Amino acid sequence: MASVTLIRGVDLVAAPWKNGGGVTREVAAFPPPSGGQGAASGDFVWRVSVADVAQAGPFSRFDGVDRTLVLLSGAGMLLDELGDAGVVATHVLQQPLDLARFHGETRIDARLVDGATRDFNLMVRRDVAQGELNVWRAGTQPDAPGADAPRVLDGDVALLFCAGGAVTVALAADHAQALRLDTGDTLRIDGPNALACTLTGDGAVLAITIRYTR
Protein backbone atom coordinates (compact mmCIF):
# COMPACT_ATOMS: atom_id res chain seq x y z
CA MET A 1 0.00 0.00 0.00
CA ALA A 2 1.29 3.45 -0.88
CA SER A 3 2.38 5.78 1.91
CA VAL A 4 1.23 9.40 1.59
CA THR A 5 2.87 12.46 3.20
CA LEU A 6 1.67 16.06 2.92
CA ILE A 7 4.49 18.63 2.94
CA ARG A 8 3.34 22.20 3.49
CA GLY A 9 5.28 24.94 1.73
CA VAL A 10 5.00 27.23 4.75
CA ASP A 11 6.96 24.69 6.81
CA LEU A 12 10.00 24.58 4.50
CA VAL A 13 13.19 26.05 5.96
CA ALA A 14 15.25 28.52 3.92
CA ALA A 15 18.98 27.83 3.75
CA PRO A 16 21.10 30.73 2.39
CA TRP A 17 23.71 30.01 -0.26
CA LYS A 18 27.32 30.44 0.72
CA ASN A 19 27.85 32.98 -2.09
CA GLY A 20 24.88 35.07 -0.98
CA GLY A 21 23.14 34.68 -4.33
CA GLY A 22 19.93 33.19 -2.99
CA VAL A 23 18.28 30.69 -0.67
CA THR A 24 17.08 27.10 -1.07
CA ARG A 25 14.15 25.36 0.60
CA GLU A 26 14.46 21.60 0.49
CA VAL A 27 11.15 19.85 -0.15
CA ALA A 28 12.28 16.22 0.07
CA ALA A 29 15.35 14.07 -0.55
CA PHE A 30 16.53 10.48 -0.38
CA PRO A 31 18.34 9.64 1.71
CA PRO A 32 17.41 12.52 4.03
CA PRO A 33 20.37 14.86 4.61
CA SER A 34 22.37 14.29 7.79
CA GLY A 35 24.39 16.76 9.78
CA GLY A 36 22.70 19.74 8.13
CA GLN A 37 24.66 19.25 4.92
CA GLY A 38 21.71 19.21 2.52
CA ALA A 39 22.49 19.30 -1.19
CA ALA A 40 25.80 21.08 -0.72
CA SER A 41 27.48 17.74 -0.03
CA GLY A 42 25.88 16.07 -3.07
CA ASP A 43 25.09 13.07 -0.86
CA PHE A 44 21.67 12.15 -2.26
CA VAL A 45 20.00 9.78 -4.71
CA TRP A 46 17.34 12.36 -5.53
CA ARG A 47 16.35 15.76 -4.22
CA VAL A 48 13.61 18.29 -4.88
CA SER A 49 13.81 21.88 -3.71
CA VAL A 50 12.67 25.43 -4.32
CA ALA A 51 15.23 28.19 -4.80
CA ASP A 52 14.95 31.97 -4.66
CA VAL A 53 17.65 33.33 -6.97
CA ALA A 54 18.61 36.92 -6.14
CA GLN A 55 21.57 37.48 -8.44
CA ALA A 56 23.25 36.14 -11.56
CA GLY A 57 26.13 33.70 -11.34
CA PRO A 58 27.40 30.16 -11.91
CA PHE A 59 25.50 27.08 -10.78
CA SER A 60 27.08 24.61 -8.38
CA ARG A 61 28.43 21.50 -10.09
CA PHE A 62 26.91 18.06 -9.38
CA ASP A 63 28.74 15.33 -11.28
CA GLY A 64 26.61 12.35 -12.32
CA VAL A 65 23.33 14.16 -11.59
CA ASP A 66 20.50 14.86 -14.04
CA ARG A 67 18.83 18.20 -13.33
CA THR A 68 15.46 19.68 -14.22
CA LEU A 69 14.74 23.31 -13.38
CA VAL A 70 11.28 24.92 -13.65
CA LEU A 71 10.57 28.64 -13.43
CA LEU A 72 7.87 29.30 -10.82
CA SER A 73 7.78 33.11 -10.65
CA GLY A 74 9.73 36.19 -11.64
CA ALA A 75 10.69 37.63 -15.02
CA GLY A 76 12.87 34.62 -15.73
CA MET A 77 16.44 33.62 -16.36
CA LEU A 78 18.77 32.57 -19.14
CA LEU A 79 20.97 29.55 -18.43
CA ASP A 80 24.13 29.57 -20.53
CA GLU A 81 25.88 26.23 -21.07
CA LEU A 82 29.60 26.97 -21.21
CA GLY A 83 32.22 25.07 -23.20
CA ASP A 84 35.89 25.68 -23.80
CA ALA A 85 35.08 28.20 -26.53
CA GLY A 86 32.31 30.00 -24.62
CA VAL A 87 28.53 29.65 -24.67
CA VAL A 88 27.40 26.53 -26.57
CA ALA A 89 23.67 26.68 -25.74
CA THR A 90 21.20 28.80 -23.77
CA HIS A 91 18.09 27.62 -21.93
CA VAL A 92 15.46 30.38 -21.96
CA LEU A 93 12.99 30.41 -19.04
CA GLN A 94 10.76 33.47 -19.23
CA GLN A 95 7.24 32.18 -18.57
CA PRO A 96 6.05 30.37 -15.42
CA LEU A 97 6.46 26.59 -15.85
CA ASP A 98 9.14 26.96 -18.54
CA LEU A 99 11.71 24.26 -17.83
CA ALA A 100 15.27 23.27 -18.63
CA ARG A 101 16.96 19.88 -18.43
CA PHE A 102 20.75 19.54 -18.20
CA HIS A 103 23.54 17.48 -16.67
CA GLY A 104 24.82 18.54 -13.27
CA GLU A 105 28.43 18.45 -14.51
CA THR A 106 27.64 20.99 -17.24
CA ARG A 107 29.04 24.44 -16.60
CA ILE A 108 25.98 26.68 -16.24
CA ASP A 109 26.02 30.45 -15.84
CA ALA A 110 22.67 32.03 -14.96
CA ARG A 111 21.55 35.48 -16.11
CA LEU A 112 18.44 37.06 -14.60
CA VAL A 113 16.05 38.75 -17.03
CA ASP A 114 14.72 41.38 -14.62
CA GLY A 115 15.27 40.73 -10.93
CA ALA A 116 14.89 37.76 -8.63
CA THR A 117 13.21 34.49 -9.58
CA ARG A 118 11.79 31.48 -7.79
CA ASP A 119 12.60 28.08 -9.29
CA PHE A 120 11.82 24.42 -8.69
CA ASN A 121 14.72 21.97 -8.87
CA LEU A 122 14.76 18.20 -9.39
CA MET A 123 18.11 16.44 -9.08
CA VAL A 124 18.55 12.69 -9.65
CA ARG A 125 21.77 10.68 -9.54
CA ARG A 126 21.67 8.92 -12.89
CA ASP A 127 23.67 5.82 -11.94
CA VAL A 128 21.09 4.71 -9.36
CA ALA A 129 17.76 6.30 -10.33
CA GLN A 130 15.71 7.90 -13.08
CA GLY A 131 13.47 10.91 -12.64
CA GLU A 132 10.65 12.27 -14.78
CA LEU A 133 8.88 15.62 -14.41
CA ASN A 134 5.64 16.61 -16.15
CA VAL A 135 3.36 19.62 -15.82
CA TRP A 136 -0.26 18.74 -14.99
CA ARG A 137 -3.12 21.23 -14.93
CA ALA A 138 -6.13 20.47 -12.78
CA GLY A 139 -9.15 19.11 -14.63
CA THR A 140 -7.39 18.33 -17.91
CA GLN A 141 -5.29 15.65 -19.55
CA PRO A 142 -2.93 16.19 -22.50
CA ASP A 143 -5.04 13.98 -24.80
CA ALA A 144 -8.45 15.07 -23.52
CA PRO A 145 -8.68 18.84 -22.86
CA GLY A 146 -11.32 19.69 -20.29
CA ALA A 147 -11.69 16.14 -19.04
CA ASP A 148 -11.55 15.43 -15.34
CA ALA A 149 -10.12 11.94 -15.89
CA PRO A 150 -7.68 10.24 -13.51
CA ARG A 151 -3.98 10.14 -14.13
CA VAL A 152 -1.78 7.24 -13.05
CA LEU A 153 1.17 7.39 -10.65
CA ASP A 154 3.64 4.52 -10.87
CA GLY A 155 7.20 4.15 -9.61
CA ASP A 156 9.14 4.00 -6.37
CA VAL A 157 8.29 7.57 -5.32
CA ALA A 158 5.95 10.20 -6.74
CA LEU A 159 5.70 13.84 -5.75
CA LEU A 160 2.99 16.31 -6.70
CA PHE A 161 4.16 19.90 -6.19
CA CYS A 162 1.58 22.67 -6.51
CA ALA A 163 3.33 25.26 -8.67
CA GLY A 164 0.51 27.79 -8.66
CA GLY A 165 -3.11 28.23 -7.64
CA ALA A 166 -4.85 25.53 -5.61
CA VAL A 167 -5.45 21.88 -6.43
CA THR A 168 -7.39 19.12 -4.70
CA VAL A 169 -5.85 15.67 -5.18
CA ALA A 170 -8.00 12.56 -4.82
CA LEU A 171 -6.16 9.22 -4.77
CA ALA A 172 -8.03 6.10 -5.80
CA ALA A 173 -9.19 3.10 -3.76
CA ASP A 174 -7.20 3.06 -0.51
CA HIS A 175 -7.15 6.84 -0.01
CA ALA A 176 -10.70 8.13 0.26
CA GLN A 177 -9.78 11.56 1.62
CA ALA A 178 -9.09 14.29 -0.92
CA LEU A 179 -6.19 16.59 -0.04
CA ARG A 180 -5.95 20.27 -0.96
CA LEU A 181 -2.61 21.64 -2.12
CA ASP A 182 -1.97 25.37 -2.12
CA THR A 183 0.93 26.99 -3.94
CA GLY A 184 4.19 25.52 -2.62
CA ASP A 185 2.62 22.42 -1.05
CA THR A 186 3.75 18.91 -2.02
CA LEU A 187 2.11 15.50 -1.80
CA ARG A 188 4.70 12.71 -1.54
CA ILE A 189 3.59 9.16 -2.32
CA ASP A 190 6.03 6.33 -1.55
CA GLY A 191 5.35 3.08 -3.40
CA PRO A 192 2.61 4.12 -5.83
CA ASN A 193 1.62 1.09 -7.89
CA ALA A 194 -0.50 2.18 -10.86
CA LEU A 195 -2.24 4.53 -8.42
CA ALA A 196 -4.95 6.64 -10.05
CA CYS A 197 -5.28 10.26 -8.98
CA THR A 198 -7.67 13.02 -9.98
CA LEU A 199 -6.95 16.75 -9.83
CA THR A 200 -9.56 19.47 -9.43
CA GLY A 201 -9.16 23.19 -8.95
CA ASP A 202 -7.50 26.07 -10.78
CA GLY A 203 -3.85 25.21 -10.25
CA ALA A 204 -0.89 23.57 -11.91
CA VAL A 205 1.11 20.65 -10.52
CA LEU A 206 4.62 19.45 -11.18
CA ALA A 207 4.32 15.65 -11.22
CA ILE A 208 7.62 13.92 -10.43
CA THR A 209 8.19 10.18 -10.66
CA ILE A 210 11.34 8.53 -9.29
CA ARG A 211 12.39 4.98 -10.20
CA TYR A 212 15.39 3.28 -8.63
CA THR A 213 17.54 1.38 -11.10
CA ARG A 214 19.65 -0.47 -8.56
Residue 207 within a domain: yes
Reference 129, options 30, 26, 4, 7; nearest CA is: 30
Instruction: Examine the domain organization and report whether 135 and 119 are in the same domain.
Output: no
* 150/61: higher pLDDT: 61
Q: How confident is the model at residue 37 (pLDDT cuts 50, 70, 90)?
A: very low
Q: How confident is the model at residue 40 (pLDDT cuts 50, 70, 90)?
A: low
CATH number of the domain that 102 lies in? 2.60.120.10
Give the domain-ending residue among 90, 106, 125.
Answer: 125
Question: Residue 71: exposed, middle, or buried by beta-carbon count in 10 A (0-12, 13-18, 19+)?
Answer: buried
Does position 45 have pLDDT exceeding 80, yes or no?
yes
Q: Which domain holds residue 163?
A: 129-212
User: CA 133 to CA 101: how far, in whole Å?
Assistant: 10
Instruction: Examine the domain organization and report whether 134 and 186 are in the same domain.
Output: yes
Instruction: Examine the domain organization and report whether 141 and 114 are in the same domain.
Output: no
Q: Which pTM does this prediction carry?
A: 0.90
What's the total number of domains in the chain? 2
Looking at residue 145, its pLDDT comes to 47
Give the domain-ending residue among 78, 109, 125.
Answer: 125
Instruction: Examine the domain organization and report whether 208 and 148 are in the same domain.
Output: yes
Most distant CA atoms of the chain, gap in Å: 57
State the chain's mean pLDDT as an integer. 89
Does position 53 have pLDDT exceeding 80, yes or no?
yes
